[in-house]
Amino acid sequence: MVHTLSILVVDDNRIRASIIEDGLREAGHGPVHVITEINEVASRIGEIAPDVVIIDLENPNRDMLEHFFALSRVLQRPIAMFVDRADPGSIEAAVDAGVSAYVVDGLKKERVKPILDMAISRFNAFSRLRGELAAARSELEDRKTVEKAKGILMRTRGLSEDEAYGLLRKTAMNQNRKIAEIAQSLITAAGLLEP
């Protein structure tokens, strides 16, 4: 199966970059873009807009790792990172930065494709979980808003909890809006009316 992912390889060592590039091309991936000037990475990523980024740092110092971890946090793309040595702190920082695969001492042409596939799978799974978490938080906030609005209606109009919810629901249906939106409008209006 031929893949149509746009892949960016970042490596200041041309020989190591060619190992990754060869592994990707043999696996049927293309187009593959290679950047060997580390200082140009951020601007080139904007130009290329790759689907996946593979970074090979060989023996990075702490500043270089921090630079790429900061980049990883904003990219929102699958990232596979190869290094020759790492300490537990670097691995933990890579995971926190959203690096999908952090491979220590594993740069071999035949390993590039499975590591890339794993990075994409982990990124997709993490993105799905992040989306589900955001939806759950939003739903929780909506419930809190509706509860607060029900309290206002119960207090100001003498309604029961069910009657207050029914009034919010009916108003939302009549205005073709979400109950949480109606509840927020009510809370805002009640705040304006307070002395």
135-192 CATH pick, 3.30.420.40, 3.30.70.270, 3.40.50.2300, 1.10.10.10: 1.10.10.10
Residues 6+ apart with CB under 8 A from 165: 146, 150
Taking the whole predicted model, whether its pTM rises above 0.85 is answered as: no
Superfamily of domain 7-107: Response regulator (3.40.50.2300)
Tens digits of residue pLDDT in 127-154: 999 999 999 999 999 999 999 999 999 9
Distance between CA 167 and CA 92 in Å, rounded? 50
Tens digits of residue pLDDT in 30-56: 789 999 888 778 888 888 889 999 999
